[in-house]
Amino acid sequence: MREIVLDTETTGFEPSEGHRIVEIGAVELFNHMPTGRTYHQYINPERMMPKEAFEVHGLGDDFLRDKPVFKSVARSFLEFVGEATLVIHNASFDMKFLNAELQALGHPGLPMSQALDTVGLARKKFPGAPASLDALCRRFGIDNSSREKHGALLDSELLAEVYLELIGGRQPDFGLATAAAQTAANQRSTQAGRARPRPQPLPPRLTEDEANAHQAMIGKMGEAAVWLKRV
């Protein structure tokens, strides 16, 4: 099962008011395990950056001026996403921006049924508790100290860890079953190669005189003799 953990940064809250996407970050999971593949793109929004948005993510006009516009990255983004489930924190926000950008290019957009909202997962698992990304990182002991400002790729990487905790931990069951089977096979192999006890013990090679001499030597060493200690 392929999933894409995704986050965006924007110039504001509503695409209907002319706000645009300025950054997309995404992490690929396969069977709930990170594959190492990521998608990251800064985007020129073709408009001025409001001060309030800049204070959130730190992406200003000068930095974004030479970045590609959404039209030039749309194909690579859609190819990366494919038909995978999109794991998003507050999915309705990011999906409305992505679809506004895609629909402006004549694309039908991404169906909401393709998105999985981790805010909903968190509220269902921890009713009444804070469900922000920072709060969930604290709950699960995930280091988010580098998150001084919002960043799409960093936030998607943190969200991937949070998501795996929300669904039952970062060590999925399918891996444990394989490991258990391998351990059992190793134990069978070890037991098969282990020497078995002899039906009849071999006769001792120590003569009676040698045994008596050994006991006499131990007697001279006193109670501290190592041979008298039991493990």
Rounded Cα distance, 119 and 122, in Å: 5
Contacts of 16 (CB under 8 A, 6+ apart): 100
**Catalytic-residue membership of 57:** no
Q: At what angle do helices 152-166 and 133-140 cross, to 10 degrees?
A: 50
| Catalytic residue of the set 32, 57, 150, 214 | 150
Q: Is 151 helix (H, G, I), strand (E, B) or coil?
A: coil
CB of 122 closer than 8 Å to CB of 166: yes
What are the DSSP calls for 38-77, one per residue?
A: EEEEE---SSPPPHHHHHHH---HHHHTTSPPHHHHHHHH
Q: Could you tell me which of 150, 91, 137, 143 has the C-alpha nearest to residue 117?
A: 91
Return the SS3 of 106. coil
Closest of 48, 98, 102, 45 to residue 69, by C-alpha: 45
Instruction: Confirm if 40 and 25 have CB atoms less than 8 A apart.
Output: yes
Active site residues: 150
